[in-house]
Amino acid sequence: MPRVYDAGMDILELVKAALALFAIVDPVGVIPIFLLATQGYTLAQSHAAARIAALTVLGVLTLFTFAGGSMLMFFGIRLAAFSVAGGLLLLLLALSMVQAHVSPQRQTRDEAVEAEERDAVGVVPLGIPLLAGPGAITHVIVAASAARGEVLHQVALLIPVALVALSVWLAFRAAPVISRRLGKTGIHVVTRLMGLIIAAISVEMIATGLGKLFPGLLA
């Protein structure tokens, strides 16, 4: 039986995808790192780094939205198994965020040191792996793979990706103002709240994946 199109449900799913992706990318939580990475930059250079970071997020997440499902098929990985693995990865990220730390899944110490020697901070480490890191990539792959065969739904997933990339650009452009208004404590509070949301998302991913891998397990 063909799928009945439900515009209301699709819009709701897109809103949920956008909010989840925003929580995972967490551009506000990355503002201190952006300010540190662009220290000594002119205003024009800082804005250029913000633009490059946003475009990197847009490009990377768009790529995995369309190519992620094919990659899973190529390696013979079931979506349910990837959902469990991705959920565990997101849970590790969430635990670090709740403690207001930069998760090793987003950036290792070696990458942080190497970043200080690079000029293209908008691409590395800001765009990859801090923003469009394993957590965000996992999320778009799972969302796109769940909609596999529904071209319009897959294309619609670009809306949350574009909105999150826009939020990155706006947050980094306004980074000095946001940093002054919120302070380190305020930014840590936002990061912890995002961490709690990601923890809930990760548990749902793990439960859904386990339910499909072992149908009788969660009955």
Task: Classify 179 as helix, strand or coil.
Answer: helix
Q: Which residues of the chain have pLDDT under 50?
A: 1-5, 8-9, 116-118
- Cβ atoms 125, 115 nearer than 8 A: yes
Q: What are phi and psi of 76, to 5 degrees?
A: 70, 35
Query: Which of 68, 67, 38 shows the shortest CA–CA distance to 52?
Result: 38
What confidence score (pLDDT) does residue 2 get? 43
Structural domain spans, the chain: 7-212
Q: Which residues of 138-151 are buried (b: 16+ CB within 10 A; e: fewer)?
A: bbbbbbbbbbeeee
Mean pLDDT of the chain: 83
What confidence score (pLDDT) does residue 9 get? 44
Q: Is 193 exposed, middle or buried (0-12, 13-18, 19+ CB in 10 A)?
A: middle
**Cα separation of 181 and 177, whole Å?**
6
